[in-house]
Structure 1
């Protein structure tokens, strides 16, 4: 099974590898990045290495795909984007992403998201893409809405982080609503 590498004008989306562990740790250990992620900040490199193994095993059993987001000019790792809860038979998945704060508000996440949506709907034949976020995460909510996602409602006590349960908002976009390249 060959990993689906994707490209955009500025980005390469490739398999997350162990040589990305240090850069991934830098991102996931930043409290500002994981503030609305549904996990506590990482405290040691081994946690990043373990999550990369999780990405690989989830892909191997066809339950998810996680791409490293790297810049075309220099191969700089800036974050990841991926499909969670992938259910090919049900034609649905949920998208998740995080990038280094140096690249927030640069359009990189939106560019990667559009490519992942195109791939998911065109190549995987998915019909629905969901996204879950904290209600206070205005940046992600804005990004999702800008890219055509519709808010469906609140999931009560859906996320657990920092020793507490938190509500989440559910968003989705359907294949028929997505601006696909014709």
Structure 2
């Protein structure tokens, strides 16, 4: 089934790729667009596991269970299946310069009863003006404080209303509010004014 154009919409202004300055004699390229897919407000259980200096390295394994959460977007609404996922993160480096490698998996259950597995790999790193260097966990961080991004992949049932999620390239833009991760999911597209095929 072909996708339909959004009523009355026009393509936003395309931005040329910065790579155009570095190559000649090929067809022009442009920067992709980001389209909002959903927002997740995640609730963590707080029953974390910490394993320091794993295998005699400067890596600390952090196992952060996910208690639940809500998901809401233009084409999907539902929740995180309670107590069914976690972030198996790694804290890398010493006190002066360190970052967290994120590696989360959790299932979503849509309002109409479909399950979708989310896999998220990414990075959490203090920004140049971060207040997150204080001792102990920081319950609230904004985009002014940190680099906090993930690459999201999905496993949805084929031939169903969410099978389109299997074939998108998606990123998560993240913040933390009162110890709750907030995840805005966007998909990359060259066709911002075209609805995604739901088949």
The verdict on a shared fold, with TM-score over 0.5 as the criterion, is no
Q: 1 or 2, which has the higher helix percentage?
A: 1
TM-score of the superposed pair, with normalisation by structure 1:
0.31
Give the TM-score, by structure 2 length: 0.29
Which structure would you say has the larger RCO, counting Cα contacts within 8 Å and 6 or more residues apart?
Answer: 2
Structure with the largest fraction of strand: 2
